[in-house]
Structure 1
Amino acid sequence: MIKNRFSKLYYFKSSYHFRSILCNVNIYRTIINERYILKCQRLYSSSSNDYSITKTRNIGIIAHIDAGKTTTTERMLHYAGFTRRIGDVDDGDTVMDYMKQERERGITITSAAITFGWKDHRINLIDTPGHVDFTIEVERSIRVLDGAVTILDAVSGVEAQTQTVWDQADRYEVPRIAYVNKMDRTGAGFGRTVNEMRYKLGTMPLVCQIPVMKKDNKGNTVFSGVVDFLNMEVLDWDKDSNGSIINKTPLSDKYPISGLFEETLKGRASLIESLSDLDSEMLDTFLELEDPMKITAETIKNTLRRVVLKGQAVPVFCGASFRNIGVQPLMDAIIDYLPSPLDRPAPMASLSSNESVKIDLKENDKLCALAFKVIYDSKRGLMVFVRVYSGRIDNRMLLFNTKTQCKERVNKLVQMYADDVEEIPSITAGNICAIVGLKNTRTGDTLIRFDDTRKNLKLQSIEIPAPVFFQAVEAAGISDEKPLDDALKNVLREDPSLHVYVDPDSGQNLISGMGELHLEIVKDRLLNDFRVNAKLGKMRISYRETATVGKIDHTYLYDREVMGKRVKAQVSLTISPLPENDLGLSEEGGNRVMLEQMIITDDSLDTKEQQENVSLLLPKTEIENALRSGLMTGLYRGPILGFPITKLLIKVNSIKLFGAESTKAAISTCVSQALVDAVKKGNPALLEPLMKVDIELTEEYLGDVLGDLTGTRRGMILGLDAAKSTFDKIDQNINIYAPPDPTYISSSERSEHTVLKSKKVIHAHVPLSTMLGYSSALRSLTGGTASFDMRVHSIGLMSDDQAKNVIREMQGGY
């Protein structure tokens, strides 16, 4: 046994992993063998007794696709001692991208959570996708995070999806730090990217590091390290140790790189001046000492933390994660500048429509937790990720879901390590974990103790985007129908941005999602992960229908015999197009329903008794609920192709009841049929989703792309701008510092020197139906140099010719 232990120890001494562990020697001083290393790290990560809530960081990695989120996370895990070797996205062996679909495509599809330790702190990290089709993963992750790291590509700068995820973080007021990655790439521009952060993201970037560029043996300028403004040190990473060893050299005017010392003095002075503008304590210190070099690193660090927590500014760091440069200072910044759960404002929860309560972060208080993600595990079943805001959840505890009003039991509590888990006895306030055994809990549900009297307590839910693509999915045979239904239920619980419904005419299951890649992934999972024998049809657009005539008054009498009983009701309503400035109500599918001035009469009562006794036969609230239910049914399926009806103002003028014959079902059916008939009389028309498209490209391809947009894609050009901050100098009126980039010259593979060209941005509205496959088309038109962002803007009226083509195609079957 002793021999084996020492042989294991010798093995790690000769490995890079052992060196990285020794960087955090206080944590790992008792490590003996490989098995104990992993176990020690797990205990360190998940034990709630060893680390206070002030030493907890719930953070997310957000960025545009291919900015280096997963690559950076893999380095964090390695330097923290969690992994023995560094995973590679291209090789498909990363810890965080564990799904088969992620490893095949080299992209992140689902947000993955992991817990690890760094410098006596526990970090609960969520790596989020960068593709627009999976924006729900970013939305529900940011909802529960306390801070975020935004990663930017030094070559591409602030890209389209970067702006989208930044806006999502703004909406939840999440403090952030920024990391400019890929500084080793040809054409990288740190200063240019800092400028773009100011202009495109509307934030105040505070540069805390600048890149060190050296000449290699061939005379090329290469990225070799960074200068730390706070400590006035040059940080250089040892290549032989996979970046685990950092060499620190004090910076002085004798440093061999010309101008580096002077630029660092300028940058440090600018950082302190900016902090003085934002923070009164720093201003007092600056006025007292007068010399920026006399202000200590600790003072600057404390001030940076204060302005970050207030959302006033964003510290900016740089590196090249793939080359193992710059990651450890980023991890230090997460600890130093991003908030603990105690630093965040207490969330508000509603008890009723007009009563709210603040949820204070106290372990001994009543439990309040938010379910923010559900995943299906083939071994463990459904697992629900929760963020605990107050109280604690214990194993085998009985919970209550305030949205579904259902009782839930915790079968098992687990700490997540991507696709691996560790069972834990409890989870305390401020932390994130997963629960096995919850049957009726969905994304956005609030969980409390079963014996809590606050049965209507609800935390702010998570905004779910509306799907815009759909396709048919059907079982290959009768024996495959149940497995398909079960698989679809699990997929829907995992991803709330997916919708599944049954077409009443064809009887087919229709599944709708956010984009082509989104549905492609769903299809792949159904066939390969769930092993369902199913057929999927052609991908189609989710259109809408509406009435175009100005105003339609319609009265409908419903009189039927159902199962030997007479049911009867009469409804009079008015429909008209919804004004553009009236957004409608989300629960009514973009329509507005008015029941306030409705007159209720009962034909079975005498005139004098009507107003007094109508409520005795059927309460007014039940009548309104039946009317609203019937209208929702009618709006769900339009008269042309069965798409949902939208953009209508619906006013119910009166309803006539006929005593006991007017049941709630009769009222609901009557108003539903009345609405359908009114829409048919109102010259129904098809509507199509219009996308707001922003395309960034060089001028040489401008004509080709504009011609493609306005031609077959039927787009409307809104404007053409210069890409902000591509080569623009800093606005002298804005007090930010951005270092000069060493060169704007890049080298091609043939060593021919070409100047990086300024870019333009096209803003347009384009029908979604014409944007299918646009990513490939744009690559072809621009040689792969352009990028675009696309999101739903509105629903627009379709031309008669286009509508006829769609009707002909849809009626031709799937």
Structure 2
Amino acid sequence: MARSPSIQRIRNIGIIAHVDAGKTTTTERILYYTGKIHKIGEVDDGTTVTDWMEQERERGITITSAATTVTWNNHTINIIDTPAHIDFTVEVERSLRVLDGVIVVFCGVGGVEPQSEKVWRQADTYHLPRIAYVNKLDRIGASFENVVAMMRERLGGDILPLQYPVGEEAGFEGVVDLLENRTLRWLDPSGETYTTHPGVPDELRPVVARYQEALVEKLAECDDALLTKYMDGVELGAAELRSTLRRMVLAGRIYPVLCGSSLKNKGVQPLLDAVVDYFPSPEEAPLTPAENLKTGQHKILVPDPDGPLVLYVFKVMYDQENRLMSYARLYSGTLRKGAAIYNTERGCFDRMDRLLRLSGNKKEPIDLATPGDIVGIIGLKTSVTGVTFSEKTDPWRLPLFTFTEPIVSMAIEPKSVQDQDRLVNALELLVIEDPSFLTRIDRETGQTIILGMGELHLEIIVDRLSRQFRVEVRVGKPQVSFRESISTEVSVRHTVNRQEGNKSLAMTVELRVYPAERGNGYLFSCDLPAEHVPRRYVELVRDSLRDALITGISLGYPIVDIGVDLLALEYRESEVNDMIVRIAAIETFTQATLQAFPILLEPIMSLDIMVPKEYLGGVVEDINARRGTINNIGVKQDLQHVKACLPLRRTFGYSTDLRSLTQGRATYTLLLSHYRETERESTT
């Protein structure tokens, strides 16, 4: 397939960061300098384009990922701005699935913080090229060199600065372009124009020379022809260095570092240049595997407008008119408005009403989409996060998406009995939108329970019920969503007999269950010869047991870290159907797990605190009182840096308590670290 000029000029990127690194502020400047908006919005004023929800504007945080499209240097850049708060990590995860590269924003003061490290690792999972952007260099205590050193120490890989800051803290005014050996200064407060001068300021020449030498040496190591010239003392040109750098970024071998101050409107235009220069087009992007559901064939998708339709939905959300909006990326084929497309999960056709180009909460109707486009679709009634739409005659499906199970729950009820049905309907819509949000009915009390990724997550849900759905509710105290597992290996053989009309059904299943390493989730294996047991039945057993994990063993919590071997599947052809296979598999699994000495696991959180020295003693004492463990106490930016672990159930209300202990002068981050066994009597 010949390369399409239009596809070559597409960049699908995300912007990810730790809380308060300046991610949304950077996105807002990108929109302004590309001409998408004509007035810069500010997070503190609640006027940004990508943070359009009321809750986002009030709290000054990103809650849901927002897509927008801009143009820069004759390239189309589709941007997804993602949340930085850990409670909304699923928004990052499902966005990364459809991106070809990410800008990771780091605070020039805080450097590599817990959530920035986590999102970096998430990008590792998808093998995404990255550009690091060290922001807030105008702040007191900012240090470009310190942040680069932290990146090398904590993130690994070849971290390669392409710029060096001119000026420090309030005196920050521009950057030195290390490749072009020139100085860029932003003297206009709006940042719309900047000056470019050849050479380097005299006071920076020694340090810049050191950085340039490291840059040239690293790139020469990556290319035999360049290395030969470099060893022969030939000066390497910026164009050939840039070409090698692009190849290394696409291969994930080098991570370029740029810098600036987005709030002060400095450094954003070169960042956009780098997106165009170093990030891949859809044709060069990380490989996307797909499976043909009719033939079983696996292949790597090619972004061909004339190829089979492959449309992946990475998010669904109800808009302000309560219409279901599907956010999707087109990987192959051409999508035209009004088309009927095939849902590969449901096995049915669905028809779109409108095809849209997105810009935050604004939508622009379009007639068609081509490979690489990220679009909004209204009218798909069967759409859910993770579904692939294709063609019935040639159905291709991308790998299914798995989401982290919720870890916090609370009881909920309407303030008015008359609102019960409205509450149920509203919760159903929110579950469709958010794969990390679940509901269930408590078996003993009959109460409705909502489950999410943290206190803030559920707080936002409750707020949306009131504002968006006009349902006033009462909620209980947050509770931990534990996990169940097993502590020993057990094998069980079990036969199920059923009567279906005049037909007798029978199936014998033998399973071995065993404890898996923490974090391994669900492991399934089957060594039965394919000629004896159809692959379809083996897959049905595997999927049935995955469904059974949700209901738990004896306490109703999800089962994790368990391995299952299918040892036998015995039946007569005249006495079997899918239903009996599923029933037999689940009953056998239930018996096995009950015999395997079930254990209860609780979530343990990693706590990272920055606190003035005079409050350190009270903070440490409080952690110990919460049954936490202090892992390390160090010094960072003249503050005490405390790293600890403590049970999630001991963290509820921590924000208020820490504020009281330190008079509001401490900051902290909580991330899920791991699960560990807990005594049942200590879970209250």
TM-score w.r.t. the length of structure 2 is 0.87
Query: Aligned to 2:653, which of 759, 773, 778?
Result: 773
Which residue in 1 is equivalent to 2:260?
Answer: 319
Query: Aligned to 2:194, which of 239, 246, 251?
Result: 246
Which residue in 2 is equivalent to 1:511?
Answer: 450
Whether 1:708 and 2:649 are equivalent positions in the alignment is no
Q: 1:472 to 1:554 in 2, by over 3 A?
A: farther
Which residue in 2 is equivalent to 1:266?
Answer: 210
Whether the 8 Å CA contact 1:277–1:283 is kept in 2: the answer is yes
Q: Deviation digits for residues 671-721 of structure 1, max 9, x if unmatched?
A: 877877887787765432233445566776665444433x3322345x437
Query: Aligned to 2:247, which of 296, 306, 314?
Result: 306
Which residue in 2 is equivalent to 1:370?
Answer: 312
SS in 1 for 2:148: helix
Shift in Å at residue 799 of structure 1? 2.2
> Which amino acid counterpart does residue 579 of structure 1 have in structure 2?
P
Whether 1:500 and 2:409 are equivalent positions in the alignment is no
Q: 1:447 to 1:632 in 2, by over 3 A?
A: closer
User: What is the correspondence of 1:376-525 to structure 2 with a 5 Å cutoff?
Assistant: 376-379=318-321, 381-450=323-392, 452-454=393-395, 457-477=396-416, 479-525=418-464
Which residue in 2 is equivalent to 1:80?
Answer: 34
Q: 1:59 to 1:251 in 2, by over 3 A?
A: same
> Which amino acid counterpart does residue 335 of structure 1 have in structure 2?
V
Report the Cα distance in structure 2 between the residues aligned to 1:627 and 1:147, rounded to whole angstroms: 34
Which residue in 1 is equivalent to 2:79?
Answer: 125
Report the Cα distance in structure 2 between the residues aligned to 1:166 and 1:360, rounded to whole angstroms: 27
Whether 1:636 and 2:551 are equivalent positions in the alignment is yes
Report the Cα distance in structure 1 between the residues aligned to 2:14 and 2:535, rounded to whole angstroms: 49
Which residue in 2 is equivalent to 1:226?
Answer: 175
Q: 1:281 to 1:488 in 2, by over 3 A?
A: farther
SS in 1 for 2:515: coil
Report the Cα distance in structure 2 between the residues aligned to 1:236 and 1:626, rounded to whole angstroms: 64
Identify the range of structure 1 (490-499 vs 547-556) with the bigger mean alpha-carbon deviation. 547-556
Report the Cα distance in structure 2 between the residues aligned to 1:361 and 1:572, rounded to whole angstroms: 44
User: What is the correspondence of 1:59-98 to structure 2 with a 5 Å cutoff?
Assistant: 59-98=13-52
Q: 1:159 to 1:548 in 2, by over 3 A?
A: closer
Shift in Å at residue 371 of structure 1? 0.9
Shift in Å at residue 74 of structure 1? 1.0
Shift in Å at residue 449 of structure 1? 2.5
Report the Cα distance in structure 2 between the residues aligned to 1:282 and 1:630, rounded to whole angstroms: 55
Which residue in 2 is equivalent to 1:338?
Answer: 279
Report the Cα distance in structure 1 between the residues aligned to 2:7 and 2:272, rounded to whole angstroms: 18
Q: 1:227 to 1:552 in 2, by over 3 A?
A: closer
Query: Aligned to 1:720, which of 626, 629, 632?
Result: 632
> Which amino acid counterpart does residue 799 of structure 1 have in structure 2?
E
Shift in Å at residue 345 of structure 1? 4.0
> Which amino acid counterpart does residue 318 of structure 1 have in structure 2?
C
Which residue in 2 is equivalent to 1:734?
Answer: none
Query: Aligned to 2:111, which of 138, 149, 157?
Result: 157
Query: Aligned to 2:127, which of 166, 169, 173?
Result: 173
Larger Rg belongs to: 1
Shift in Å at residue 166 of structure 1? 0.5
Shift in Å at residue 370 of structure 1? 1.2
Q: 1:566 to 1:583 in 2, by over 3 A?
A: farther
Q: 1:663 to 1:302 in 2, by over 3 A?
A: closer
Whether the 8 Å CA contact 2:316–2:325 is kept in 1: the answer is yes
Shift in Å at residue 99 of structure 1? 0.4
Whether 1:688 and 2:602 are equivalent positions in the alignment is yes
Which residue in 2 is equivalent to 1:201?
Answer: 155
Whether the 8 Å CA contact 1:55–1:120 is kept in 2: the answer is yes
Which residue in 2 is equivalent to 1:787?
Answer: 668
Shift in Å at residue 786 of structure 1? 4.6
Q: 1:393 to 1:181 in 2, by over 3 A?
A: same
Report the Cα distance in structure 2 between the residues aligned to 1:102 and 1:684, rounded to whole angstroms: 42
Q: 1:262 to 1:716 in 2, by over 3 A?
A: closer
Q: Deviation digits for residues 606-659 of structure 1, max 9, x if unmatched?
A: xxxxxx9xx9xxx998799689859965971554x5434556677899999999
> Which amino acid counterpart does residue 184 of structure 1 have in structure 2?
D
Query: Aligned to 1:579, which of 512, 515, 520?
Result: 515
Report the Cα distance in structure 1 between the residues aligned to 2:674 and 2:552, rounded to whole angstroms: 22
Report the Cα distance in structure 2 between the residues aligned to 1:77 and 1:628, rounded to whole angstroms: 44
Identify the range of structure 1 (177-186 vs 262-271) with the bigger mean alpha-carbon deviation. 262-271
> Which amino acid counterpart does residue 333 of structure 1 have in structure 2?
A
SS in 2 for 1:453: coil
Shift in Å at residue 460 of structure 1? 2.5
Whether the 8 Å CA contact 1:623–1:667 is kept in 2: the answer is no
Shift in Å at residue 535 of structure 1? 3.4
Q: 1:557 to 1:712 in 2, by over 3 A?
A: farther
Identify the range of structure 1 (51-60 vs 296-305) with the bigger mean alpha-carbon deviation. 296-305
Shift in Å at residue 515 of structure 1? 0.8
Q: Deviation digits for residues 711-736 of structure 1, max 9, x if unmatched?
A: 3322345x43757xx6xxxxxxxxxx
Q: 1:626 to 1:359 in 2, by over 3 A?
A: closer
Report the Cα distance in structure 2 between the residues aligned to 1:336 and 1:574, rounded to whole angstroms: 54
Q: 1:91 to 1:143 in 2, by over 3 A?
A: same
TM-score w.r.t. the length of structure 1 is 0.74
Of all paired residues, the percent bearing the same amino acid is 37
- Gaps spanning 5+ residues in structure 1: where? 1-49, 215-219, 598-611, 727-755, 807-814
- Gaps spanning 5+ residues in structure 2: where? none
User: What is the correspondence of 1:13-162 to structure 2 with a 5 Å cutoff?
Assistant: 52-162=6-116
Q: 1:232 to 1:473 in 2, by over 3 A?
A: same
SS in 1 for 2:625: coil
User: What is the correspondence of 1:267-286 to structure 2 with a 5 Å cutoff?
Assistant: 267-286=211-230
Report the Cα distance in structure 2 between the residues aligned to 1:224 and 1:553, rounded to whole angstroms: 71
Q: 1:54 to 1:668 in 2, by over 3 A?
A: closer
Report the Cα distance in structure 2 between the residues aligned to 1:150 and 1:520, rounded to whole angstroms: 27
Q: 1:548 to 1:128 in 2, by over 3 A?
A: closer
Report the Cα distance in structure 2 between the residues aligned to 1:274 and 1:656, rounded to whole angstroms: 61
> Which amino acid counterpart does residue 349 of structure 2 have in structure 1?
K
Report the Cα distance in structure 2 between the residues aligned to 1:123 and 1:620, rounded to whole angstroms: 43
Q: Deviation digits for residues 414-437 of structure 1, max 9, x if unmatched?
A: 000100000000000111111111
> Which amino acid counterpart does residue 313 of structure 1 have in structure 2?
I
Shift in Å at residue 60 of structure 1? 0.9
Q: 1:671 to 1:759 in 2, by over 3 A?
A: same
> Which amino acid counterpart does residue 425 of structure 1 have in structure 2?
D
Whether the 8 Å CA contact 2:283–2:302 is kept in 1: the answer is no
Q: 1:556 to 1:474 in 2, by over 3 A?
A: farther
